[in-house]
Amino acid sequence: MCVIVKVLQLSRFRCCRGRQMAINHAVFEWMQNEENPHVLILIRGLPSAGKSYRALELAGMDDSLICSADKFFGETAEEYVANWSGAKLGAAHRQCREQVRRAMQRRNKLVIVDNTNTVLREMLTYFSMAIEYGYRVRIEEPTSPWWVTDIAPYLEDKSAHRKHLEGMCKLLAKKSEASHKVPVEAIQKMLNRYVPNVTFNDLKKADGR
């Protein structure tokens, strides 16, 4: 009798698991479907690589569509520099996540996240929200010449191009002097952990469902 019960329980588990897998498959298909009118764009890249400009381009220059941790520290470069604190980064990212969730709950057609998103885990919360609210997910990087030509192609093999990339970090820090004043050491750390060529399937696999 106990064996029969266990078999029935296992069959029910397999049935439920199979049904959940089918649901997940349909959800992930919709999240890549061009006909899905609700879109989440994850912008990623290093400071001063052109992330925010790319975000504005994709938003049709409507800044209200863009959620960014940077906005926690101020709307202008001067406010950002005056208010920035490493101790407040957690709060800045929490605010960004809350803004994204509210935008999705309002069913905004376009939601853009403008953060560095250097590694998968930094994007997974937003990917999970996209699953919950049925948003199509796109991943975008800057289109500036220095990113496209001088940085991105070298990220696949950072050790082989170490000297070149160190020089590019200095260039980004120089560009940052006119805005957020991110030090070269901080940019170098972001570059060291930056995962290149992240795809939808990478996020799907990392999500694990």
Tens digit of each residue's pLDDT (9 = 90 or more) over 65-93: 999 999 999 888 788 888 888 899 999 99
Output the six-digit token pair for 160: 């082989």
Is 100 part of a structural domain of the chain? yes
Residue span of the structural domain in which 72 resides: 27-207
pLDDT at position 16:
60
Is 13 part of a structural domain of the chain? no
Q: Check: CB of residue 151 under 8 Å from CB of residue 165.
A: yes
Tens digit of each residue's pLDDT (9 = 90 or more) over 39-55: 999 999 999 999 999 99
Is 9 part of a structural domain of the chain? no
Is 119 part of a structural domain of the chain? yes
The answer, yes or no, to whether residue 24 has pLDDT greater than 90, is: no
Is 22 part of a structural domain of the chain? no
pTM, entire model: 0.87
Encode burial over 166-204: b for 16+ CB neighbours within 10 A, e otherwise.
eebbebbbebbeebbebeeeebbebbeebeeebebeebb
Distance CA 151, CA 191 (A): 10
pLDDT at position 3:
40
φ and ψ of 112, to 5 deg:
-120, 130
Is 36 part of a structural domain of the chain? yes
Is 48 part of a structural domain of the chain? yes
Is 62 part of a structural domain of the chain? yes
Assign residue 97 the CATH number of its domain.
Answer: 3.40.50.300
Tens digit of each residue's pLDDT (9 = 90 or more) over 105-137: 999 999 999 999 999 999 999 999 999 999 999
Give the DSSP letter string of 40-71.
EEEE---TTSSHHHHHHHHTTT-GGGEE-GGG
**Tally of domains within the chain:** 1
